[in-house]
Chain A
Amino acid sequence: MELIQVLIYGLLLGGVYALLSSGLSLIFGVLDIVNVSQGAYLVASAFVTWRIWESTGIEPLVLLPLISIVWFFLGLAIYRGLFARVAPQGPSMTVLLSFGIALVFEGLLNIIFGNKFKSIVNDYSLKSFDLNTIILPYTQVIASVVAVFALVLMYLYLKYSWAGRALRATAQNRDGAALVGISHNKSSAFAYAIGMATAGAGGVLLAITYPFYPATHYEWIAKLLGIIVLGGMGSLPGAIIGSILLGISEAAGNTYAPQWTILFFYSVIMLTLLFKPEGILGAKTRKDSA
């Protein structure tokens, strides 16, 4: 059944998007930063994965934990070195800073890797799961499974580790967190680092599923930002809902008119914002909380 094919494929896509947008949502929710460089972090990770795979032949998925950790520490450095100083100036300046960082990444990627499409072609790249009427590309299934796994891991880490608790506490009540001895600076850097780590993980998945070149970070960030605007900025469940919606739109669109899918998605966003300016699960501005 075509409908089921679309739904399942859409969920697979949604799973990957969920991982990618979760970092963005986290950074916004905790730090009030619209991290437009998230796409660049994603593509950079894809390039690094590709390069390692190209020269050593190592299975990319094996690299995922390593790259995520490296990206984590890179995130700590970027936050402490750059954002910490600019954050007090407010969201209009941090978004410009993030934009600048994205350009630096793009420029470096262009210089190091050149402006050509890259992709990883493995022995499983062309295979598909064939279940009667439903055909699911191998890479997509793997990427989704890994993405969901990573998301669950991140969720568990945030829920049961002290660092994760501190982060959630800071997001829920900043003064209360300070009261119990949680350092706001440390939590902030940690939130950014996790956000960047998700981009690191996502980049590996990107590398095995889609072709990419340095400037594709714009498309990615436009999609991811669209997801969190639709789902409600700062809401992790909202990001997941938005991701699934985009996934299904793309799955449906791919059969009919692939190039118009993203426009359809943006129209849905604009329509939603017309009636619910804060997004599907977004909270109204904090005015109302005592």
Chain B
Amino acid sequence: MKNFFADRTRLYVAIPLLVLALIPVALPDSEYEQSVLIVCFLFAIMASGWNIISGFAGYVSLGHSVFLGMGMYTGSLLGQYFNLPTYYFVLVSMLVSVLTAVIIGAVILRTKSHSFVIITIAVLLSAQLIASNWRGFTGGTEGVIFRSPSWVKELGNMPYYYMFYVVFLLTIALVWFITTSRLGAGFVAIRDDEAKAGSIGINTTQYKVIAYGLSAAPYGLAGAIYAQYLGFINPIGAFNILLSVYLVLSALIGGKGTLWGPILGGFLIALANEVATITSGGISARILIMGIVLVGTVMFLPQGILNSVKTISAKRKSAKKSVAFIDQASIAEPNTAISIEKIVRPADANANKSDVILKVTDVYKSFGGVKAVNGVSMEIKRGSITGLIGPNGSGKTTLFNCITGTYEIERGSVVLNGEEISKMQPWVRAHKGLGRTFQITKLFKSMNVLDNLVAPLEQPSVKKMLVNKIQGDEADRAREVLSFMGLSSFEQSKVGALSFGQQKLIEFAQILMLRPDIVMLDEPASGINPTLIERLSKAIKRLNDAGTTFLIVEHNIPLVLSLCDYVHVLSAGELMVSGTPDKIRNDEAVIEAYLGPDTLLTEKS
């Protein structure tokens, strides 16, 4: 027991929870206080649920209270049918809410667009409309009144209190699971950079739908209880937009994207609401005040109380320590002791595969009237380090992006390991063995380096989602990859504290976690100093010796000619010439493309 509470934060959490659990028993005459706390629980539950889709995953929902209403009505309808109190049907209510969210999400969340927030409002209002008009089913605008259960006279609010308390605990557990699991890490990745998340193997649509579904679950549970507690249900009360405001405000003020923020916020707003009811009572004033508080919070405290406190205490801590100056030279030598087999896929996995790992055939891509890639075909040999060069405007970057899936090709085919990938989503390409870096490095800014390393998903799996994001063999492998690159000292660093060159190496390490068959590098040498270029080249050579294919787009010709064993040269959207570095170096056409016609080239010894 003592060890469990060695971590002080656990104490700070356990004690209030225990107190809350004991209040009805310890203070039997606290009917009023219990009712206030019930509202606190409800707001905290709702704010936490909202936080899952809108805080962690970054998709703002403005009509989230619709799921509470669905829970209430499900409980109500089944309760009437079976002649039982509504709270008997918590599980069915939860299911209904979750299913609704999943169905809506499956339609809306396929693209990253603003229609999500709009649809959430539309759904709330539609639900209100349906409930108002489908008299036979829902009792219409007058709604339904429930008979109180028999124990009310004796026990008062206490059973309701504990019912909400249990849902409250379950919600905390759910959010805690999200903050510690790979699933939750995936949500944050999507919020930070959805395109990047897709490129490292995260099925963003699936994750978003899961987030939306999970966010509705607590609402379904609470709704079934809330209906009986209120004693009645009607469309306006169940599908209440003001409630949506409360829960958004709670999460925002407390700190969205954190575990305890929405809970803190929920309690604050619920208490403030109670105070407002006692003092002024007018709902118009309530709406006005909520509006002002929301505007004020967005403008002056957008990260919420909890995050502000964290930032202030972090600043104090770093002011005390001397600022650790991270410069480019402090990257350690790579750990040559790390056996390369731990980092790449086993060699025999490639045993039966063909010579050509990537085949591009007749690819066309144009923007507006400009033909960026005008019928390019090439083969990348397995186990090679292939360079793709060409002057600005030659189409090499466009071709690169066509292969990775950033651009959709108009015509032609891209075949990886014998499979046509040109219609596949970026995450499927990642699962098929394609890893890529970005010219301007994309790392997840909310996470530290280790979390970034662990984020890629080599293969999709449900089990992977449930696993703790830091423990497990993934984390061990991440540490090995970091050691391999000489980046171990950066394990806990925040991405924002790294220099551009360090970020490039970290992103490279991150891609290695996919154990890709082919690593595509987008101008890896741009913007970093020669020492780091050297470091990167060494790593590439070692990995290549173990069987990994590399395709590198670069402007730095000396680097390409020294590192690659084969080079393709593009010019004006077409493949001009291909060959070994020596052949390319002396090729008239290449020289002309870069320097212009008729230039003498004398070798300097």
Q: Do A and B touch (CB < 8 Å)?
A: yes
State in angstroms the CA–CA spacing of A92 and B116 once bound together. 11
B367 engages A266 (CB within 8 Å):
no
Of B133, B248, B288, the residue contacting A107 (CB under 8 A) is B288
Q: Which of A89, A99, A106, A288 has most B Cβ within 10 Å?
A: A99
**CB closest residue in chain A, given B130:** A263
Given A115-B284, A263-B129, also A222-B292 (CB < 8 A):
no
**For the complex, what is the distance from the CA of A9 to the CA of B113, rounded to whole Å?**
33
Of A174-182, A225-233, A246-254, the stretch lying at the interface with chain B is A225-233
Report Cα–Cα, A278/B144, bound state, in Å: 40
Interface string of A79-120 (1 = CB under 8 A from B): 000100110010111011101111111111011000100000
**Is the CB–CB distance between B368 and A290 below 8 Å?**
yes
A226 to chain B: closest CB distance in Å? 6
Whether a CB of chain B sits under 8 angstroms from the CB of A193 is no
The stretch among B118-126, B318-326, B350-358, B457-465 that forms the contact with chain A is B118-126
When chains A and B are docked, how far (Å) is the Cα of A218 from the Cα of B298?
21
Stretch in A63-71, A163-171, A267-275 touching the partner: A267-275
A61 nearest CB across to chain B (Å): 30
Q: Is the CB of B294 within 8 A of A273?
A: no
Whether A266 contacts B126 in the complex (CB less than 8 A), given A91-B114, A277-B110, A289-B367, comes out as yes
Total A-B contacts with CB atoms under 8 angstroms apart: 146
Find out whether the CB atom of B130 lies under 8 angstroms from the CB atom of A104. no
In the complex the two chains form, is A36's CB within 8 Å of B367's CB? no
Which residue of A96, A225, A260, A285 is within 8 Å of B294 (Cβ)? A96
A28 within 8 A of B: yes
Which residues from chain A contact B132 at a C-beta distance below 8 Å?
A: 259
Query: How far does the Cβ of B10 sit from chain A's closest Cβ, in whole Å?
Result: 32
Residues B407 and A260 in contact, CB atoms below 8 Å apart: no
- Asked whether A92 and B60 contact (CB < 8 A) given A100-B294, A221-B121, the answer is yes
Bound: A264/B282 CA distance, A:
36
When chains A and B are docked, how far (Å) is the Cα of A117 from the Cα of B247? 28
Q: Which residue of B lies closest to A259 (CB)?
A: B133
A54 interfacial by beta-carbon distance below 8 Å: no
**In the complex, chain A residues whose CB is within 8 Å of the CB of B125:** 218-219, 222, 262
Q: Would B60 and A96 count as touching, CB distance under 8 A?
A: yes
CB contact under 8 A between A82 and B299, given known A96-B252, A104-B292, A218-B241: yes
- Count class of interface residues, chain B: 35 or more
Near A by CB (< 8 A), chain B positions 253-294 give 282-294
Which of B115, B285, B291 meets A102, CB within 8 Å? B291
Contact B372 A290 (CB under 8 A): yes
In the complex, A105 Cα to B295 Cα: how many Å? Answer: 12
- Would you call A143 an interface residue if the criterion is a C-beta within 8 Å of the partner chain's C-beta atoms? no
Bound form: Cα–Cα A49–B99 in Å: 45
Q: Which residues of B contact A266 (CB under 8 A)?
A: 122-123, 126
| Chain B positions within 8 Å of A214 at CB level | 284
CA distance A181 to B248 in the complex (A): 40
Query: CB distance A110 to B122 under 8 Å?
Result: no
Chain A residues with CB under 8 A of B62? 36, 95, 99
Taken residue by residue from 454 to 496, chain B's Cβ proximity to chain A (1 for < 8 Å, 0 otherwise) reads as: 0000000000000000000000000000000000000000000
CA distance A270 to B130 in the complex (A): 16
**Which residues from chain A contact B283 at a C-beta distance below 8 Å?**
110
Q: Does B313 contact A (CB under 8 A)?
A: no
A103 touches B288 (CB 8 A): yes
Binary B-proximity of A275-290 (CB < 8 A = 1, otherwise 0)? 0011100000101111
Question: Do B111 and A107 touch across chains, with their CB atoms under 8 A apart?
Answer: no
Given contacts A222-B121, A229-B119, A287-B407, are A86 and B298 in contact (CB under 8 A)? yes
Q: Mark B56-84, 1 if CB is under 8 A from A, else 0.
A: 00111010000000000000000000000
Q: Is A206 an interface residue (CB 8 A)?
A: no
Please, how many angstroms separate the alpha-carbon atoms of A87 and B135 in the complex?
Answer: 44
List, sorted by A's number, 13 A–B pairs whose CB atoms are closer than 8 Å. Answer: A85-B299, A86-B299, A92-B60, A103-B290, A104-B288, A107-B287, A214-B284, A218-B241, A263-B126, A269-B122, A277-B110, A277-B115, A288-B367
Footprint of A on B, CB under 8 Å? 54, 58-60, 62, 107-108, 110-115, 117-119, 121-123, 125-126, 129-130, 132-133, 241, 245, 248, 252, 282-295, 297-299, 302, 367-368, 370, 372, 398, 406-408
Binding site for B on A (CB under 8 A): 28, 34, 36, 82, 85-86, 89, 91-93, 95-97, 99-108, 110-111, 115, 214, 218-219, 221-222, 225-226, 229, 233, 259-260, 262-263, 266, 269-270, 273-274, 277-279, 285, 287-290
